[in-house]
Structures are given as structure tokens and as C-alpha cells.
A and B are shown apart, each in its own frame.
Chain A
Amino acid sequence: MNCQNVIQELSNFIDGELDAASKQDLEGHLKDCTECKLVVDQTKKTVRLFCDSEPIELPGEVRNRLHEALRRKFKEATH
């Protein structure tokens, strides 16, 4: 496996979707290629940072508007 192959398979590797032989091949390449290892590690970190980011706080007035609209909808449904 060369560097270009590693980039092409990067998402499959991160998502655990590579077959065992390809995974072993890719991991073997990472042992010898510091550049590819950096790309893989930093891309994993990028995904994790976004995945772990907390949802933003919903502003009070937006929340109130939403729940008022819902209650109107509930009333309509019961009539």
C-alpha cells in the first residue's frame, strides 16, 4: 500500500470498514510513514473534536416560540 492508497482508504480505516488484510496492510504502512501517520491521527482527531462538541444553547426566545407553536399544534389536533 502506498501513500495515495492510504488517503483513499482513510475514511474506511477510521470507520472500521476495511477488511482484515487491507487493515493490516495500511497499519504496516503507517509504521514506516510518519506523514501518513500524521494525516490519519489528525483526521481522527478532527472527527472526534466535532463529534464531541456540545450542542449550542438554544436561546430562550427561540425555545419559547417553538413550544408555543407546538402547543397551538396540539390544540389543533384535539379539535
Chain B
Amino acid sequence: MLRSWNSLSTPNPHRLASAVAREDEHLLVAAAKSGDASAFEELVSRYERKIFRLTMNITRNREDAEDAMQDAFLKSYSHLKTFQGDSRFYTWLVRIAANEALMRLRKRRPNQFSLDEPIEGDEDLMPRELQDWGPGPEQRFAQTEMHEILSSVIDELEPEYRTVFVLRDIEELSTEETADAVGISVPAVKSRLLRARLKLRQKLDRYFKQGATN
């Protein structure tokens, strides 16, 4: 019998939405583990857009992103019984999807980069020629335009920085979870994250600085 899982999402005014969503997720995972396919499909429907954003952000290739997303969901279903619940299901799913996306990225660009080699140097990270962005770039650009800007600047970022930034700042994995997912050390994650943030700030500068022509 197909159950309506939507009822589990009914907001309770006395509780935080995120807390409800987490408890809801826990119930869905438990049902899926005991063989309820509709519960798993509800989890997929809930996270498919976010997982597609993740695989797209890592691979920057539409075909690879679609395949990585699909394989991530299929693998998570196959291995669901091994999910112990130590982390959120979504975090577990993100790690599977990140692996699928990284595998395709490495295959497509085998000579362009390696996530495993140290890339951190002692270069001067101090930004130069700083300019004020003025009040609220969010208000100066329409949502679709802002989306294009963000997509364009993240596309320019080297994969080793982009991957760490996506996992830490967009998917909100912890430093340790990111290190584990990418297969690098915690200090390397911290170093790459700092560089990624500074590089993205610099790239956004050309759109957001006062008097910039868009």
C-alpha cells in the first residue's frame, strides 16, 4: 500500500522547520529500509534537485551530472541497509553523489588536475585593488541574472577548489566530512576552502563593484 508521506511534512508551529524535516527524513529512511519503496521515492523527490545541483557544480557537464545523480540514487538504494544513521541521510547521499561526480570529472579530465596532489603554496593571498560593492548586489540583479553570475564564476574555479567549496559552503558538510568525501586531509580542505572563497570573491568583484557595467 502506498502511504502519503506528505502528511509527515505538515508544519508544526511549535517546532523549527529544519527539525521537523530531519525527523521526517529519519522516518522515511526507516520505512525505506524495511522495504517501503514509496518512502524511498519520496526521499528521492525531496533531494533530486539538490543532488543535481551538486553533481552539476562538480562536473560542470550536463550529461555527467545527470548520470552521476541517477547512479547516486540507485547506489544509495542498493546500499541503504548499510546506512547506520550516524549522520543525516542527506549527508550520506551527498557523499555518494560527490564520489559519482568526482569519478566522472577525473575520467573526463585525467590530465588536467588531481584532487590528491598538494596544490597549496605560500603565495600571497592578500586581495589587491579592493572596491566597494555598494548596498546589496542581491537587490541589483534579478534572480535569473544572479544565478547566471554565480554559475559563471563557479565554472571558472579550478575543480580542486570548486569541489571543496561546493561540499562545505553549498551542501554544508563539515570539514571532516568533506575531507572524507574528497579523500584529502582536513588541513588541505581548510586551505582549499580559504582559497576558493577568496577566488570567488575576486571573480564576483567584476560584477558587483560600484560602477561595474553588467
Contact = CB atoms under 8 A, between A and B. Distances in A.
Given A43-B198, A56-B52, A70 B41 contact: yes
25 contacts: A7-B125, A10-B194, A11-B197, A35-B130, A42-B201, A45-B133, A45-B137, A49-B138, A49-B146, A49-B204, A50-B150, A51-B170, A53-B170, A55-B50, A55-B52, A55-B53, A56-B52, A58-B52, A66-B70, A67-B41, A69-B70, A69-B74, A70-B41, A71-B37, A74-B37
Interface of A: 3-4, 7-8, 10-12, 14, 35, 38-39, 42-43, 45-47, 49-51, 53-58, 62-63, 65-67, 69-71, 73-74, 77
A53 B78 CA distance: 31
Interface string B124-161: 11110011110001100001001100100010000000
- Chain B contact residues: helix, strand, loop or mixed: helix
B17 to A, nearest CB: 16
Interface residues of B, number: 46
Given A7-B125, A70-B73, 16 more contacts: A3-B126, A7-B126, A8-B194, A12-B190, A35-B130, A39-B201, A43-B201, A46-B204, A50-B150, A50-B165, A50-B200, A51-B170, A54-B147, A58-B52, A69-B70, A74-B37
B170 A66 contact: no
B3 interface: no
A69 to B, nearest CB: 6
A55 B46 CA distance: 12
